[in-house]
Structure 1
Amino acid sequence: MQTLRRWWHDTAGGLPATFWYLWAGLLINRAGAFAMLFLSLYLTAERGASEALAGTVVGAYGAGGAAGVLLGGVLADRWGRRATLLAAHLSTAGLMVTLAFTRPLALIAVLSALVGVVHSMPSPAFVAAIVDVVPEERRSRAFNLQFWAFNLGMAVASLLAGVLAEASFTALFLVDAGATLTAAAVIGWKVPETLRRTAGLRPPTRSTPGAPRRAGLRTALTDRTFLVFVGLTFVLAVLTLQTSTIMPLAMRADGLGPSAYGLVVALGGALIVLGQLFVPRLIDRHRKHVVLAASTALLALGFGVLAVADELAVYLGAAVVWTIGSMLAAPPNAQINADLAPPQLRARYQSVFYLTFPAASFLAPTLGGFSLQYLGNGHWLIVGGLGLLAAVGHLLAGPPRERHVAALRRAADRVPAMID
């Protein structure tokens, strides 16, 4: 019992109350955020769209997300974290209600893009708020718990959504809106504004000692080492998003309904919920790029198996493989992203890094819809091959990236923090 208590303290102890309210808001939001998971099925089953058109509409959601990440970062620094979170959640709820009763496909595409914007806006605000309130030595466990809550919510959402979709797609959007409003209520009631806690730090300028010469987004966009990592993360995101964009269409073609799809996604979420908190101890003794190579190879294998899948049991087995890959990838991915950013430009680097996910949300369904429609099961062989190439990329990029991080740390040690 004492061992269990020590493990729990090391995993979740010492975190402030505000973090837990943020955590609760995220959990409630994700548990009800299932409408967009089933958007492709809704478009093909209810609105009569082709697979290619459905992929394009879902891609519009991803395109909106790219804008939402940048907008959320700017607003979180100008309006504040709490105000940005509330604006995003309330806007999402209104758009979900509108989508529930919208019929023209063109209008659904526009609304999907807007939902993409407001769905992505909270990401930088959540991260910024957590950094604001959690001491540096406890942030690793905070972000691990954030990832855990996200997937716990996704597991609940998938099970609920599968049942609701069998009864009514309209209910999907309305329940999603209700959950989003509940999350907004928790944030509005219990989460104070945290921006003032870091207001003392000056933004970097060319005259700031040790600051990169071209301070701003341009610095991140011209950092080759960072961009290689971002590119490999983009491939990881494309692979992971197959579960919510293309796999439901493949399962439908195999005669499997929404409840079967919900079970597959819920299995992945359950595995993460049960095992994610044990992953850090498992991988700590290994170099980060080796862990990322192994995790990406597992994702490639899991999705590649779908080329021969035609029964639910095969989909469930493949889900176990790619979920283990995702679990292994999460901690080193977050740590490398933090290591590569110069201290004065961490927020800007985060913005560029987070663009990989909405960009993948656009590319994965847009190209994947055409690929599945015209190549059939060959689509999964392409996905698997792409993942294996990314695994090799991690092995090649790892050593020079480690040298680059070491150089950044030496430079940071020579430059004192600029505090007002």
Structure 2
Amino acid sequence: MKVFNYFHPLVWSILLGTIFTRAASFMTIPFLALYLHNELNASPVLIGVTLGAAQLFATFGGIFGGFLTDKLGRKLVIIVTIFVWSGVFIGFAIVQSVILIAVLSSLNGLCRSFFEPATQALMIDFTEKEKRRRLFSIRYTSINIAGVIGPVLGVWISSLSDAVMPFIITGIMYAAYGFVLIVLLNHFEMRQQIAAERQTLPQMLRVVGTDTKLLLLLAGGVLISLGYSQYDSTLPQLVNLSVEEGVQLYSVLLVVNAAIVLLLQLPISVYTEKISAFKSLSFGMCFFASGFILFNISSSWTLFIVAMIVFSIGEIFAFPMMNAMIEEIAPDTQKATYLGASQLKNIGGFIGPIFGGWLLTHFVGEVYFVMAVIVLLSLVFYKKALALNKVA
């Protein structure tokens, strides 16, 4: 019972809801490309555009979602978004046009960019400052739990029914969570701090765009995102080139990654609370760089698995700290706006696969040495941001 008293009941509810909704999403989104190819005969280009649209809208919609959350309140944005999101997944099951699926995919990314900053800001409102790092760590664990459960459920449901059933079930799960949120958010009195003078969107964009600390953190985040994007872009290709049965090995590496994150997230997060956020991030980047170097020199299953273990430990140290450091510099009245702006770091996710693919084509032996340097370089930006924050 003592564990459950650590956070406010509303925070625990949102964390459980994160597992519930993310598992529902993982039931469908990873298989959307296959659905488009097998059921709608979409071309590879159209599939790429459709999937990329979600990432594009999630990346650039975050700051608008965060602004609306700070301006209109957490409750309104969360409830409206969850029901629109439910409709998006039902839409995936109903429409038969690839163009309309692309529109729905864009809405899916936009909903995520609104819902994520709003729920994170809500949890921050109800969490003491000294507990927020653990909050981000547990939220990250929740997402990884969902990442294990969701795809398995998706495959199982698809095997028992037709291809659209997982989309329908996901839509129903989102709507059900929406009704739960209505009850919860009406039961608890909101604690959002409101600015004395409301800012317009252009004013807010100007403030965020001129915050040097935020821009430095985003620059560091872009480099980390660029490096991490190799995980599902060039890494499977490298594995396939390096060993026999590379596809099977890559599947094993995905399981190893999920298992390490789930097993070590809690003990590592407890340790990181005793050190600075920058030190934790530095450990993460060192593990990332070491993992990349091991990937680069691996030529057997054993070495690749060891490399993935090292890489996964870096993920645990680094990822919760990226949002935690942005939350620390955000004014109390602009938490959601800053967390929404943090989505801009996903620009690295666009650049990474292209840059990594080019390196793999022309410099196959140096791909991950370059990535190791890039993720370590991110620390220069984080260190500078930290120095400015201390001055402020």
1:322 alignment partner AA: F
CA shift in 2, pair 1:83/1:226, >3 Å: closer
Which residue does 1:32 correspond to in 2?
Answer: 24
Q: How far did residue 227 of structure 1 move?
A: 1.5
Per-residue Cα deviation, 1:226-263 (whole angstroms, up to 9, x for no partner) = 31221111222344445566767888999788x98776
Of all paired residues, the percent bearing the same amino acid is 20
Matched, 1:150 2:138: no
Which residue does 1:85 correspond to in 2?
Answer: 78
Taking the TM superposition and a 5 Å limit, the aligned residue runs for 1:187-198 are 187-192=181-186, 196-198=190-192
Which residue does 2:373 correspond to in 1?
Answer: 388
Which residue does 2:386 correspond to in 1?
Answer: 402
Q: From 251, 267, 270, give the equivalent of 1:278.
A: 267
2:22 alignment partner AA: R
Q: From 363, 371, 380, give the equivalent of 2:357.
A: 371
Which residue does 1:19 correspond to in 2?
Answer: 11
RMSD: 4.0
CA shift in 2, pair 1:98/1:338, >3 Å: closer
Which residue does 1:175 correspond to in 2?
Answer: 169
Query: Is the CA contact 2:73–2:192 (under 8 Å) kept in the aligned structure 1?
Result: no
Q: Point out the more displaced range, 17-26 or 231-240.
A: 231-240
Count of residues in correspondence between the two structures: 386
TM-score using structure 2 length: 0.79
Task: Report the secondary structure of 2:191's partner residue.
Answer: helix
Query: Is the CA contact 1:27–1:149 (under 8 Å) kept in the aligned structure 2?
Result: yes
Which residue does 2:50 correspond to in 1?
Answer: 57
Matched, 1:339 2:328: yes
Q: How far did residue 327 of structure 1 move?
A: 0.3
Which residue does 1:352 correspond to in 2?
Answer: 341
Task: Report the secondary structure of 1:197's partner residue.
Answer: coil
1:401 alignment partner AA: A
Query: Is the CA contact 2:323–2:339 (under 8 Å) kept in the aligned structure 1?
Result: no
Taking the TM superposition and a 5 Å limit, the aligned residue runs for 1:146-295 are 146-164=139-157, 169-192=163-186, 196-199=190-193, 201-203=195-197, 216-243=204-231, 264-284=253-273, 288-295=277-284
Query: Is the CA contact 1:61–1:362 (under 8 Å) kept in the aligned structure 2?
Result: no
TM-score using structure 1 length: 0.75
CA shift in 2, pair 1:172/1:252, >3 Å: farther
Matched, 1:326 2:319: no
Partners of 1:56 and 1:399 lie apart in 2 by: 36
CA shift in 2, pair 1:298/1:407, >3 Å: same
Query: Is the CA contact 2:74–2:119 (under 8 Å) kept in the aligned structure 1?
Result: yes
What are the ranges of 5 or more consecutive residues in structure 2 without an aligned counterpart? none
What are the ranges of 5 or more consecutive residues in structure 1 without an aligned counterpart? 1-7, 206-213, 409-420
Which residue does 1:3 correspond to in 2?
Answer: none
Partners of 1:72 and 1:193 lie apart in 2 by: 24
Which residue does 2:98 correspond to in 1?
Answer: 105
1:98 alignment partner AA: G
Query: Is the CA contact 2:323–2:342 (under 8 Å) kept in the aligned structure 1?
Result: no
